[in-house]
Amino acid sequence: PPSFSEIIIQNTIYTQLSVPDCVSIGSAGFPQLPQRSIQILLPYQQQVKHISVESVITKDFSEQISQTQIIPMQQSIPLNDQSNHRFIKNQSMYNSQKKYPSSMYDIHSVDYLAGYPILTIRLHPFIYNPVDETLIQITQMNIELTFTHSLEMHANSFYRGKTEDRQRISQLVINPEMIDSYPLDGEEQSDDNDAVLNGSETNLTSLGDSYTDGLCNTSDSFDYVIVTTADLSDTTEYTYNWTDLLNHRKQQDGLTGTIVTIEEIDECSDYYNETEIFNDSAAHLREFCKDAYLDWNTDYMLLAGDWSETDSDQQKIPARFLTDAEENETGYNTMPSDLYFSNLDGDWYDENNALWGGGRYGENDKLSELSVGRIPVWNLEMVSNAVEKIIWYDECDDESFLRSAGFLGGYLGWTTTSKQYMEEIRVGDGSFSEYEGFEEWNDDYPDYELDTTARYYEADYATESDAVNAWKNAINNNEMSLVNHLDHGSYDQTLSLGYGSSLSNTHFFLGISQACLSGRYTAGRSGAESFICESNTKGSFALILNTGYGYGSSTSTNGASQLLHKIWWDYYFENQTTNFDNWRLGLAMQYTKDMFSSMIDSSSHSYCYVWYSWNLFGDPAQQLQIKPEENNPPVISSPIPSPDSDNVSKNITSLSIQMNDADEDLLNWSIETSPDIGSNSGMNEQAGTKSCEIDGLSFDTSYTWYVNVSDGKTEICHLFSFNVESGSMNHAPQLSYPNPLNESINIDVHLSEVSIQINDLESNIFSYTIQGTHVQGITNDNQSNGTKTTTCITPLPFATQIMWYVNASDTMNATYEWFTFTTRDKYIPQSPSDLTSYAVNRSCIHLEWTVDDQTDKTRVERNLFPEWELGSGVLVYNGTDQKIIDNNLSSKETYYYQAWSYNETDNVYSLNSTSGQQTTHLNHPPEITSVTPLNNSENLSVEFTYLANLSDLDADQLQWMITCSHGECNSSKAKNTTASLDLNNLEKNTTYRVWINVTDGYDWTRSWYQFSTHQIHIPPKVTGFSANIVNSTQSQISWDKPAYNPVLLEYHQQPEWDVGNGIMLYNGTEKNTITHNGLTRNSTYHYQLWQYNALDQTYSEPVSTQITTPSNVNPILTGETPQNQSIPSSLPSSWSVMITDSDEDLLN
């Protein structure tokens, strides 16, 4: 069933759901719903004609999301991007009545792995309608595929029919039984099987093809090939060379190998192509990879050389740069990727965009054929250093080091911390909980427990540098073998340790990092060179690094690189478990990339990007060690004939013996006889029954046979003898190997059959009868030697002796014998013992107990009172573990526990329970104090900073968020601190609300406050406003000057108008009188005056006045000299007159 959890983003509560075996991927802004990609092996010689998917069983989970919406998927961003990206939500989708997604499934593609056609389908088990608030889970689907016969679709040229290829297919697809429809190497599919698939007989040809010509001869076979340059291929100048590594792989792993130089490959014209784009050195190398895979049956390919874009001396083994056409960062949208050499179908060239690869819509071969690793050396000393560290790790016997794992999380600058990411890798829960983590491995396989105490997270240290220094010291002290890392990175910054030259560790480790660019060996000297190749006294023996960016999510752990990282460890912990021979770096990388490939064409380009970017730097055949190697010698048993047996039939045709090896080593064996009646032998075979055909036996003769067997480390030898019967004797049929053994006890009540081996020494035919209590009677005639069986009537009664007999007779003699066995008691488990508990913290209680041999599972229930019946409490756990942590509890609360044992076989619980109780630690929730401004404050400015003191008595780190109804938001994390929020451009005379949310990881404290901005002030009317006529063209206006505010004076020919619609005479604060000149005579002028509030941008009501200028007055002539009409006594020399004008006009 799905699990639901709440998450708060931008002061909104969303629901997040997860389902086992599903991952949540999708388009940014759309609901984040679990999906599952399945890969289906198509039948031999069949092509898909039609696919139908129908819902069988559904379950309604609408109630769980009735109050909240499902969280939208967020965009993936490079790990070097420290910004918290905006929260994306597609409002159109969330406001739509349409169901999401619109289909229950998507068909992606048919791809080939080792020549097997595999169909990928992505299933959508949830249907969501955000408007109707409905969520339906499809808990069971029927997938029906209809096929049509096709000789072209049976497989492709890379089909080899090897058992190892079939094993890889079975790990990947959901229908591994379909592998049996494909012939093994050297077989031809029978007409019968073909008729089943096709309904008609077909004359089949072989499946795979050999490579035409090339360097690889089909008469040779090499499991392991090293490609290097002529100058690096071999030397005695340094301690180690590539030949030493080949010899080591032969001795350590039984792998045959050879060295091929890139010069030989480039000189081979069989690898040339007429098209220039496919005829460079990288293309030649890929053709050689195809050749070796097909004609040498190669599985592991080591690219032993660097490739620098800028330094020709470091251009050894070519790289192919793949491009993500959707990546915006020019320069880092292209990265070297060895997928080009491991995934051999197609040509990887995206013609539409003229790019190699091209991204999720490009030209990608999703599934791999070869296991490829790269060691970027450019000189012989680096070769020796790398080989020496590889061999050192294989021979390391320091068990505490081999079983140590470390985790570093640096500062990402995101809401989601690197600690949350790395803890998911360690614990196994979180965004991709379907993939196993370290602690889940420890619970399942306590005999191989891995130490995970080395955790260095910036969130747990005062500064990030403190965490990195502690991390570096732990590596230098040889405290971790399996290193997991998440931080920012670059080609000169690997594992947060720079180039690593300052390291002083003497035990070499495996480093796995999601960081950006740390493996970009083409940029010069990256971590791949400096950590692996530059020293033989420190550093690592192998690394998994990005040659481009790593990708994650700033608001959750649902990141593309995180998913790759989790699948990588799931290969070891869940897919292979204790099959340690397959704990190889190259096989893990193949599995990780093949599984991940079903998501590369999803709704985000980041999945394809990191698929290109994550590369293995190291020996692909190297096996992870979590224990020193201890050899168990082969064991032989059950020789037939039995040792020193007499009267052995002269007619026996074979000798046989069982060979076993606890380490599952391949065995070399031989059987020889004296006198010589036959011999047989085998090389590199699995354990099992080995036989030798014999003939020419003589009566009354003793024979000795010699058995030799070796696992490559220990050889054992045994001899056995037997005597052949006399010539005249006839023997009754012999009864042997009753199953169950006679008088055996504790036999299971569900025993399906009893059996007996009947042999007639003369090989005469015989008849036999088997009968008994609770045994189905049977009689058969004309029988030959062999095991005879009959069914039991089940279930058998508990604790009861069952009797059965066998009667066998040939034509001359008979044998009759009774056999008994006793069934077991009913499995009633004892209640768990030694139930102990302790409080881990404020929300977790650790429980531990022991169980007896009859217990398959333990059921643990919780309650707030001490006693209750089975099934009436809250189910805490029901499984096979014997220790758990009960999470999500309330602080300072006493919890009572009861545990019952359960036996699955007999479906019975223990008669009693075991009880215990424990109290969680007290938690002090965060406090919000000293809020500034105070709640309900009024008349505040429209711009200020809102402050609040946040404190926690437990000194927990606090995650806080302040949000204003105006739209501003701020969040961060810190211990006792002052939270702040800058407010700008607020509206005046408005009430706003502020929400403060703070959590210490256990409890939330939520408060809201409000404040009001100041009211808008309208200034009063101006007083003392008047206008006086100076003359017919001039007036004087005056007023009482306001204390602070400016005034605006306007005039108009009309009596009333709005501010700004008149002609401005004055605007300012300095004057309180002004002269208006240039007036027209006999005209009326209207004046209005306003006071202005600049702060609130408001005007007062206007005050008004008016004047009318007088009409024109003619000039007056007076005081003329001489006077008018006078008679002067003498003629005057001049004449004058006084001219006055009351309007003071200028006169002509």
Residues 657, 529 share a domain: no
- 46: tokens are 């069949």
> Roughly how many angstroms between the first and final C-alpha of the chain, as a whole number?
111
Q: State the average pLDDT over residues 620-628.
A: 88
CATH number of domain containing 135: 2.60.40.3800
Residue 1073 near residue 1067, CB atoms below 8 Å: no
For the segment 475-515, what is each residue's pLDDT rounded down to a tens digit?
A: 999 999 999 999 999 988 999 999 888 899 999 999 999 99
At residue 988, does pLDDT exceed 50? yes
Distance between CA atoms of 211 and 295, rounded to whole angstroms? 6
3-state secondary structure of 450: coil
Of the pLDDT bands very low, low, confident and very high (cuts 50, 70, 90), residue 152 is: low
At residue 191, does pLDDT exceed 50? no
Residue 848 near residue 882, CB atoms below 8 Å: yes
Distance between CA atoms of 877 and 881, rounded to whole angstroms? 9
Distance between CA atoms of 316 and 529, rounded to whole angstroms? 13
* Mean pLDDT estimate for the chain: 90
Residue 30 near residue 126, CB atoms below 8 Å: no
Residue 1081 belongs to a domain: no
Q: State the average pLDDT over residues 316-335.
A: 90
Beta strand pairing status for 69-70 and 12-18? Answer: parallel
Q: State the average pLDDT over residues 280-286.
A: 97
Q: What helix, strand, coil percent values describe the chain, rounded to 5?
A: 15, 35, 45
Residue 898 near residue 835, CB atoms below 8 Å: no
Q: What is the dihedral of CA 484, 488, 489, 495, to 10 degrees?
A: -30
At residue 366, does pLDDT exceed 60? yes
Distance between CA atoms of 759 and 738, rounded to whole angstroms? 13
856-870, 937-951, 1120-1134: range with lowest mean pLDDT: 1120-1134
3-state secondary structure of 89: coil
At residue 45, does pLDDT exceed 90? no
Highest averaged pLDDT of the listed ranges 3-7, 40-44, 873-877, 951-955? 873-877
Residues 931, 915 share a domain: no
Among 358, 390, 419, the domain-final residue is 358
CATH number of domain containing 416: 3.40.50.1460
Distance between CA atoms of 490 and 499, rounded to whole angstroms? 10
Residue 1087 belongs to a domain: no
At residue 193, does pLDDT exceed 80? no
% of residues, the chain, pLDDT over 90: 69
CA 144, distance to chain mean position in Å, is 30
Residues 54, 170 share a domain: yes
Residue 219 belongs to a domain: no
Residue 88 near residue 10, CB atoms below 8 Å: no
At residue 990, does pLDDT exceed 50? yes
Residues pairing with 322 in the sheet: 335
Q: State the average pLDDT over residues 659-685.
A: 93
Of the pLDDT bands very low, low, confident and very high (cuts 50, 70, 90), residue 209 is: low
- Note if the bond before 738 is cis, omega within 30 degrees: no
Distance between CA atoms of 614 and 627, rounded to whole angstroms? 27
Residue 276 belongs to a domain: yes
Residues 840, 809 share a domain: no
- 51: tokens are 């696919």
Residue 1091 belongs to a domain: no
Residues 813, 911 share a domain: no
At residue 204, does pLDDT exceed 60? no
Residue 282 belongs to a domain: yes
Distance between CA atoms of 461 and 383, rounded to whole angstroms? 39
Residue 249 lies in domain = 224-358
For the segment 95-128, what is each residue's pLDDT rounded down to a tens digit?
A: 998 899 988 988 878 899 998 999 999 999 999 9
Q: Tell me, what DSSP letter sits at residue 286?
A: H
Residue 1107 belongs to a domain: no
Question: E strands of 393-515, at which residues?
Answer: 404-409, 451-457, 482-486, 509-513
Q: Phi and psi dihedrals of 1026, rounded to 5?
A: -150, 160
Distance between CA atoms of 660 and 633, rounded to whole angstroms? 9
How far apart, in Å, are the Cα atoms of 193 and each of 144, 166, 175, 984, 1110? Answer: 21, 19, 18, 78, 125
Residues 439, 538 share a domain: yes
Radius of gyration of the chain from Cα atoms?
45
CATH number of domain containing 738: 2.60.40.10
Give residue 423's pLDDT.
96
3-state secondary structure of 636: strand
Name the pTM for this structure.
Answer: 0.58
Instruction: Give the number of other Cβ atoms within 10 Å of residue 501's Cβ.
Output: 12
For the segment 369-394, what is each residue's pLDDT rounded down to a tens digit?
A: 999 999 999 999 999 999 999 999 99
For the segment 47-98, what is each residue's pLDDT rounded down to a tens digit?
A: 888 898 988 899 999 999 988 999 999 888 898 887 667 788 999 999 998 8
Residues 233, 147 share a domain: no
pLDDT higher at 45 or 283: 283
Of the pLDDT bands very low, low, confident and very high (cuts 50, 70, 90), residue 467 is: very high
Residues 519, 593 share a domain: yes
3-state secondary structure of 583: coil
Of the pLDDT bands very low, low, confident and very high (cuts 50, 70, 90), residue 406 is: very high
At residue 189, does pLDDT exceed 50? no
3-state secondary structure of 615: strand
At residue 199, does pLDDT exceed 70? no
Residues pairing with 1005 in the sheet: 998
Query: What's the total number of domains in the chain?
Result: 7
Residue 858 parent element (H or E): strand 857-863
Distance between CA atoms of 41 and 535, rounded to whole angstroms? 46
How far apart, in Å, are the Cα atoms of 1096 and each of 534, 942, 1023, 1077, 1099? Answer: 71, 11, 21, 33, 9
For the segment 541-569, what is each residue's pLDDT rounded down to a tens digit?
A: 999 999 999 999 888 888 999 999 999 99
DSSP per-residue letters across 888-920:
SPPTT-EEEEEEEEEETTTTEE-SS-EEEEEEP
Residue 376 belongs to a domain: no
Residues 885, 1009 share a domain: no
Among 1013, 1047, 1062, the domain-final residue is 1013
- 679: tokens are 């011999």
At residue 1144, does pLDDT exceed 80? no
User: What is the Cβ-side half-sphere exposure of residue 1126, based on CA atoms within 13 angstroms?
Assistant: 12
At residue 1132, does pLDDT exceed 80? no
The two most distant CA atoms of the chain are separated, in Å, by 208
Residues 604, 671 share a domain: no
Residues 446, 324 share a domain: no
Among 692, 724, 756, the domain-final residue is 724
Residues 417, 325 share a domain: no
Distance between CA atoms of 545 and 522, rounded to whole angstroms? 13
